[in-house]
Structure 1
Amino acid sequence: MKFDRFDRAILQALQHEGRIPNSALAERVNMSESACLRRIRQLEESGVIEGYTALISQQKVGCPVNVFVNITLDRQDETDLRKFEDAVRKIPEVMECYLMTGDYDFFVRVVVADTADFERLHSKHLTRLPGVARVHSSFALRTVQKARELPIR
């Protein structure tokens, strides 16, 4: 989808401040309120804007630890992939899951309270996912960069 300067300005502003009132957003992007609201509705209807959400502090809700998990399946046929993906979506601690190329089949980011919490997640959920052959985990020591805004070109 091609974006003009107004679309880019609206998207950048909403990524930075999702609760900005339409009147303030219209002023910021130099549009009338009605034209700005029309653009937002078009961006929502086209699926560019998928929704709105609050950013919650991992630390303050008790899951400060990020663990990156590489998972290899026994087989990679479509049925096995679908079974794994359906099951992994049901684990609340899974924040992201990607089907990968390379040495591992899936790359998963989970959040946990501590190492004991991860041990529980590992033994009761991750290793019991359909078709899992190997699980390789790495604990993040510190978050250096965590972008929340996509570059809009």
Structure 2
Amino acid sequence: MLPNSNIDNLDKQILETLMRDATIPYTDIAKQLKVSSGTVHVRMKKLTQLGIISSVNLHVNPAKVGYDITAFLGIYLEKSSMYDDVTKELQQIPEIVDCYYLTGNYSIFVKMYCRDAAHLKDVLHDKVQRINGIDRTETFISLEQTFSRPMMID
């Protein structure tokens, strides 16, 4: 068993394999780890029930589907008590893909994809900045995503 966890080394190996490629069939994972495919299936069900696996997602390259701008937005709230209302509104903006509640300069930090600078301006002006409770925002445009990787499981 790993410390502070309900998973053992086999669970960890299954997770690491699927985090590299979530399309690998359970039978291939079983062969690789020298266990039965039934064992992999049972372990996956357990990991899902424990909430360790929350979802399996497909990652699309935004630029390949016409979204050339990745932007990050630091949001200052008028009052921290407005967090729930503001995030409900932010969740309605399809361009926003990640939203974090933080300590530090910003109350909220979001990641969004836009087709171009005009689209980004429209999202900021017509959607984000009209949300009641947002005091002001700061926008950061990504020049490049140098790397992205799944989290490490110790």
Q: TM-score range by the shorter chain?
A: over 0.9
Q: Are the structure 2 counterparts of residues 46 and 2 from structure 1 closer, same or farther at C-alpha, using a change threshold of 3 Å?
A: closer
Using the TM superposition, give the Cα deviation of residue 64 of structure 1 relative to its aligned residue in structure 2, in angstroms. Answer: 2.4
Which structure exhibits the higher relative contact order, with contacts defined as CA atoms closer than 8 Å and separated by 6 or more residues?
1
1:87 to 83, 86, 89: 89
Q: Give structure 2 stretches of 5+ with no counterpart.
A: none
Q: Distance in 1 between matches of 2:65 and 2:7?
A: 37
Aligned ranges for residues 102-113 of structure 1 at < 5 Å?
102-113=104-115
Count of residues in correspondence between the two structures: 150
Q: What's 2:124 paired with?
A: 122
Output one character per residue of 1:103-131: Cα deviation in whole Å (capped at 9) or x when no partner: 11111111101111100001101101221
The list of structure 1 runs, each at least 4 consecutive aligned residues, that deviate by more than 6 angstroms after superposition, is: none
Q: What's 2:21 paired with?
A: 17
3-state secondary structure, aligned to 2:30: helix
Q: Distance in 1 between matches of 2:146 and 2:25?
A: 32
Q: Distance in 1 between matches of 2:55 and 2:111?
A: 22
Q: Distance in 2 between matches of 1:130 and 1:12?
A: 42
Q: TM-score, normalised by structure 1?
A: 0.93
Superposition RMSD on alpha carbons, in Å? 1.1
Aligned ranges for residues 1-150 of structure 1 at < 5 Å?
1-77=5-81, 80-147=82-149, 149-150=150-151
Q: Percent identity over the alignment?
A: 24
Q: Distance in 1 between matches of 2:40 and 2:110?
A: 38
Q: What residue identity is the alignment partner of 1:33?
A: S
Q: What's 2:153 paired with?
A: 152
